[in-house]
Structure 1
Amino acid sequence: MGGRPKSCCLKLKWSSSEAKLLSDDVLLSSHSIRWGVLVFLAAKSRFIKDAEEAAEFQNFIICVEMLIAAVGHLYAFSYKEYVGANIGGSCGFTGSLAHALKLNDFYHDTVHQMELEMEMEMLVEITHCHYHSTMDRKLVFCDTKFLSLLTTFRDNYTILSPLTFSVMDTMTPLLVSPKIIDASRLILELKILTSRMANSDNHRMPPHIALFPSAGMGHLMPFLRLAALLSSHNCTITLITPTPTVSAAESTHLTTFFSSHPHIRRLHFPILPFDSSSTPINTDDPFFIRWSQISQSLPLLSPLLSSLSPPLSVVLSDFAASMSFSQLADHLSIPYYVVFSSSARFLSLFASLPSLNLGGIEDYVEIPDLHPLPKSSLPPPFFNPNHFFTSFALSNVQSFPKAKGMFLNTFEEFEMETITALNNGRVLSAMKLPHVIPIGPLEPFKVENGEKSEKGSDYLMWLDGQSDGSVVYVSFGSRTAMSKEQIREIGNGLERSGCAFFWVLKGSKVDKEDTVGIEELLGEGFVERTKSRGVAVKGWVEQEEILSHPAIGGFVSHCGWNSVMEAARHGVPVLAWPIHGDQKVNAEVAETAGLGMWVREWGWGGERLVRGEEVGEKIREMMSDEKLRRRGREIGEEARKAWEQSGSSQKALMEFIDELKHTNLAGVEANIA
């Protein structure tokens, strides 16, 4: 009979004797653990000092294991055909030795030794006799370990009668390189060939998307929400988690997320220890230090990415890792997108950084096709080219054009002018930015009931007892703490405002180090005086649960972008009090959209001590401003419509997913062809 060949996957059961034959090979499946331990010990002992030396050291370990593996194969199979030899008769010891010494089969072993998964199955192309007689050999990637599996299959081939079969060895690429990044790419190419043949013309595998967040809750949360969202649209998701995390909140959220989303894969990525002697940076900020560590460690990620099955369709990387990820994705021929965790307005500034002249006397920065931005709104490090944040930003910005697109947690109706200007290419003349894809406001990922804290239930019960729109919510994010003096002035302002309040406190930059008690932060008697109309808590709270409660009527916020989007999603007016980074630019965006008010005279949080009288007055003004509340409700409705059928954010996301589904693997296959 004619027609197309059929492909199937045969899972084979192992007898005890066959398992024994493979015992040495199975032992080698723990190699990834050994590599990690040896590299870690070498780094701790200062034997290696940076990521390049770590890669070279890991390469050395791999080469030693390859030699051991080759000798082991010769010993174990000296009177059987060697892996890669034609199936069908024995080659004898001499034939096996000659075959083993061929470079292509040695490299064949190299590829398999670098596999991070051991799948005891093989892909076999089963063809009808007529087709087989006219097509002698077909390429099939045999994702298996060594000869005994092939022998087991050959010995049981009669179960396929009256069909015939052909089992082909791995097609060895022409390029052989000692570089780990090149070897990783070759592994990925082989997996892609496997997947291409495993799929029929009428059925394609769902896209496989890897996401890589950076350090800090403000960077992690958009990735968790985006991962859950993409997974709900039938995409295979792998979330890469650099470990250890900086904050306890990150670790807790990751545990909760994977517990509630068991179908999303977690790929642990232990990062190299920070060595200030080899990588001097002029900051003690733990999050900046972690960004530097991640950047140094990323070259070691390539074997992990190439080992994933099915092969990756695309990678989504945090903008703080854009430079390293663009190089990694280019080497592995994987398309990549940037996830920018701030506003479109700040992106226009961030992308313009290489061409900005900040040394002039002008008070404003000119960005083409957008209204000028006050220099006072720029992050202070931008004025110091030697600051870590500035140099790090510049290096990542210059890699943006290599991305296929940029995801932003915003929506067209909220930042229409900026998004349009960015996508029309009018903002930058020297550098072409990739297409901006607004997919906000991202909704919270679902959590199983058993994962919700009792503490959160208590807060919601308290809010249930308050009148609609009567409570002001106060939080300055997870990144930076106010001084003790400023915290007490805010407390004074809340008392003076006469409003009910829900206040989330933070005593230090990193929550693991936050040991100061509430009484010590707020001063003696504050909690007792305000217990009838206010709640003050420390630690992480589910902010979106708070903002979505009908009792909340206003939000005193640092204007971290996630907070702005959550306020917009629920139509809650904002009193902006920026502290650092992008937050003044974000405050301007919220004010321009009509969502909030911003007291510019307060400057950066911590720049000067703002007295309780001023704080209380502005809180009363926000809570009593009916125009602000009405506009807040309108923005909340616009945010909801953005995710309705044919809404702007829904449409942007589905266009991305549809493109992946229709061109799954096409970009990489084009590079292989």
Structure 2
Amino acid sequence: MMEKADICHIVMYPSPGRGHLMSLVELAQSLLRRHPSLAITVLISSPPHLLPSIIPYLSSVSSATPSIAFRHLPPSPSPSLSSAPTAFSDDPAMYFEYARLNNPNLYHDLSELLSDSQPSQKPKALVVDFFYSVAAEVAAALRLPTYYFLPAGANPLAAFLYLPTLHKLTTSSFKDLDGNVDIPGVPPIPAKHMPSRMLDRSSRIYGHFLETSTRLAESAGLISNTFEALEPRALKAISEGLCVPDGRTPPVYCIGPLVAADDHISKHECLIWLDSQPSQSVLFMSFGSMGVFSSKQLREIAHALEKSGVRFLWVVRYPPPHDEMWRNLAIKPEDDPGIDEILPSGFTERTKDRGLVLKSWAPQVAVLSHDSVGGFLSHCGWNSVMEAVFAGVPMIVWPLYAEQKLNRAYLAWDLKLVLAVAESEGGFVTTDELAERVSELMLSEKGREVRGRAAEMRNEARQALSEGGSSRVAMAKLVDSFKKGMM
């Protein structure tokens, strides 16, 4: 039985929303599986309207992993931030501002934990979500080392660390610059392809990212959901200090891929359907929790699937509230018209023998692990990339927001691990373009080459997570760093 004196207690602080919470909790579970001497407290700081979506998840984790304790902070004192259902999805700057308003609550709870009469129970470190960087002020006041968790790869991390340098080199916004941006260790990318929330330097969100970039460089360590064999060039540039030329670079701990062991409770209908499909014959299509298309774009996707003739499993979300479809149907999105109303007439009937359309959600990890899945059309969000890499499933990427175009630049054009769709200036993808990429991945020799590279990278990912692998070693170094304790 482990003595209390042997326990290392750390605190994790995710930003609001189920996706952010789950990423950090997956990190906690991964750490505990290999280092049971840890005890982890996760501080929940979510507006009341978000709590119903996460409470069941918290309960299931508590039952499965007693070493993770959840502690709820009071909601933000600002009614405008704590009660607006769409505020966070519409304006990510709210994440940063909500964190700042919650700093007094964070100080109170961390102080309580630190004043525990048993020394073994005192937290040794604070692991903070990227969006909650302002929590570093509280941690510094309490002399608690701060680590940042980035559910992203090394290429975006290099870009964030280099942002203060880029900011000094020009007075223009990225959206107004022609040509490429040069970042150490990162393939040259068009300035307009920088992370979408960083394009306008006059915006609030840009200011938050700039402040956060500075804080990253001042932290005790950076934890990234990647592995060394996937992004060696970016990691080399970071470790050599090239991304923070005017200061120190903290250690980077590459502990990925972080992939949930299982994300479905029972046998989902789509898994039963996949059981009846030939091996590696199905294209899985899903675009993340925020991947929403116009009704016009959805029709183009449907036409492309019909034209390609491939088998498919497609997760569809309704178009945004301002879409013309809602006016044409004379109803509101919450009235739930049904999938058939938003796709081309007769589409589901014509494709029923080779396709399945799901509304809003599918158990993605389980789907990607299924033998029948031979390709993945994705928005290039990093969690999805890691899940596909871990499963060895080749991808077509269609970036939609955040740092996804930067991910594409590396994965498609530099590493040549994925195929990429070509979108118009406004991000629209035509039937012909998408049908060609789908056929290329699923039916052509080029697709087989990409499939081979995906299989090789899957082996590298699993090697990284094996005994003595790079991610296991990095995780051990991270835990050793936690145990050193106070600043």
TM exceeds 0.5? yes
What aligned pairs does 1:176-325 form with structure 2 within 5 A after superposition? Answer: 204-232=5-33, 233-234=35-36, 235-243=38-46, 244=48, 246=50, 250-272=54-76, 274=78, 285=90, 287-308=92-113, 309=116, 310-322=121-133, 324-325=134-135
Give deviations 1:364-413, integer Å, cap 9, x for gaps: 11223544332132134423222232111112112123311000000000
RMSD value, Cα: 2.7
Checking the alignment, whether the CA contact within 8 Å between 2:396 and 2:420 is kept in structure 1 is yes
What secondary structure sits across from 1:366 in the alignment?
strand
* Closer, same or farther: CA 361–319 of 1 in aligned 2, 3 Å: closer
Alpha-carbon distance, 1:421 to partner: 1.0
Q: Which residue of 1 aligns with 2:143?
A: 333
Distance 2:295 2:431 in 1: 13
Q: Which residue of 1 aligns with 2:396?
A: 575
Distance 1:352 1:509 in 2: 34
- Structure of larger gyration radius: 1
Instruction: Check if 1:379 corresponds to 2:195.
Output: yes
Instruction: Check if 1:348 corresponds to 2:170.
Output: no
Give deviations 1:155-206, integer Å, cap 9, x for gaps: xxxxxxxxxxxxxxxxxxxxxxxxxxxxxxxxxxxxxxxxxxxxx9x98331
* Closer, same or farther: CA 478–248 of 1 in aligned 2, 3 Å: farther
Instruction: Check if 1:554 corresponds to 2:368.
Output: no
Distance 2:145 2:335 in 1: 41
Checking the alignment, whether the CA contact within 8 Å between 1:412 and 1:648 is kept in structure 2 is yes
* Closer, same or farther: CA 547–316 of 1 in aligned 2, 3 Å: same
Structure 2 counterpart of 1:315, one-letter code: L
Query: Mean alpha-carbon deviation: is it higher for 624-633 or for 359-368?
Result: 359-368
Query: Mean alpha-carbon deviation: is it higher for 610-619 or for 636-645?
Result: 610-619
Structure 2 counterpart of 1:619, one-letter code: V
Gaps of 5+ in 2: 82-86, 322-332
Q: Which residue of 2 aligns with 1:540?
A: 361
Q: Which residue of 2 aligns with 1:598?
A: 420
Query: Mean alpha-carbon deviation: is it higher for 360-369 or for 463-472?
Result: 360-369
Alpha-carbon distance, 1:307 to partner: 1.9
Give deviations 1:78-128, integer Å, cap 9, x for gaps: xxxxxxxxxxxxxxxxxxxxxxxxxxxxxxxxxxxxxxxxxxxxxxxxxxx
Checking the alignment, whether the CA contact within 8 Å between 1:555 and 1:575 is kept in structure 2 is yes
Distance 1:497 1:221 in 2: 35
Structure 2 counterpart of 1:305, one-letter code: L
Give deviations 1:435-460, integer Å, cap 9, x for gaps: 1111110131567xxxx444x53221
What secondary structure sits across from 1:481 in the alignment?
coil
- The partner residue of 2:430 within 594, 600, 611 is 611
Distance 1:588 1:387 in 2: 25
Query: Mean alpha-carbon deviation: is it higher for 243-252 or for 619-628?
Result: 243-252
Give deviations 1:193-220, integer Å, cap 9, x for gaps: xxxxxxx9x9833111111111344423
* Closer, same or farther: CA 620–270 of 1 in aligned 2, 3 Å: farther
Alpha-carbon distance, 1:617 to partner: 1.5
Alpha-carbon distance, 1:239 to partner: 1.3
* Closer, same or farther: CA 608–248 of 1 in aligned 2, 3 Å: farther
Checking the alignment, whether the CA contact within 8 Å between 1:506 and 1:538 is kept in structure 2 is yes
Instruction: Check if 1:480 corresponds to 2:285.
Output: no
Instruction: Check if 1:520 corresponds to 2:341.
Output: yes
Question: Which structure would you say has the larger RCO, counting Cα contacts within 8 Å and 6 or more residues apart?
Answer: 2
Query: Mean alpha-carbon deviation: is it higher for 570-579 or for 295-304?
Result: 295-304
What secondary structure sits across from 2:357 in the alignment?
strand
Checking the alignment, whether the CA contact within 8 Å between 1:368 and 1:428 is kept in structure 2 is no
Checking the alignment, whether the CA contact within 8 Å between 1:594 and 1:632 is kept in structure 2 is no
Q: Which residue of 2 aligns with 1:492?
A: 303
Distance 1:412 1:227 in 2: 20
Q: Which residue of 1 aligns with 2:226?
A: 410
Structure 2 counterpart of 1:341, one-letter code: P
Alpha-carbon distance, 1:579 to partner: 0.5
Give deviations 1:495-553, integer Å, cap 9, x for gaps: 2111111111122679x969453122224322222221111112332211111111111
Instruction: Check if 1:368 corresponds to 2:179.
Output: no
Checking the alignment, whether the CA contact within 8 Å between 1:472 and 1:556 is kept in structure 2 is yes
Distance 1:580 1:417 in 2: 24
Gaps of 5+ in 1: 1-199, 669-673
What secondary structure sits across from 2:6 in the alignment?
coil
- The partner residue of 1:440 within 256, 260, 263 is 256
Number of positions where the alignment pairs a residue of Structure 1 with one of Structure 2? 451
Alpha-carbon distance, 1:260 to partner: 2.8
* Closer, same or farther: CA 422–291 of 1 in aligned 2, 3 Å: same
Alpha-carbon distance, 1:470 to partner: 0.3
Checking the alignment, whether the CA contact within 8 Å between 1:358 and 1:383 is kept in structure 2 is no
Checking the alignment, whether the CA contact within 8 Å between 2:194 and 2:403 is kept in structure 1 is yes
* Closer, same or farther: CA 340–514 of 1 in aligned 2, 3 Å: farther
Checking the alignment, whether the CA contact within 8 Å between 1:245 and 1:251 is kept in structure 2 is no
Distance 1:508 1:295 in 2: 33
Give deviations 1:42-99, integer Å, cap 9, x for gaps: xxxxxxxxxxxxxxxxxxxxxxxxxxxxxxxxxxxxxxxxxxxxxxxxxxxxxxxxxx
Q: Which residue of 2 aligns with 1:649?
A: 471
Q: Which residue of 2 aligns with 1:632?
A: 454
Query: Mean alpha-carbon deviation: is it higher for 245-254 or for 288-297?
Result: 245-254
Alpha-carbon distance, 1:248 to partner: 6.4
Q: Which residue of 2 aligns with 1:589?
A: 410
Q: Which residue of 2 aligns with 1:161?
A: none
What secondary structure sits across from 1:610 in the alignment?
coil
Distance 2:78 2:344 in 1: 38
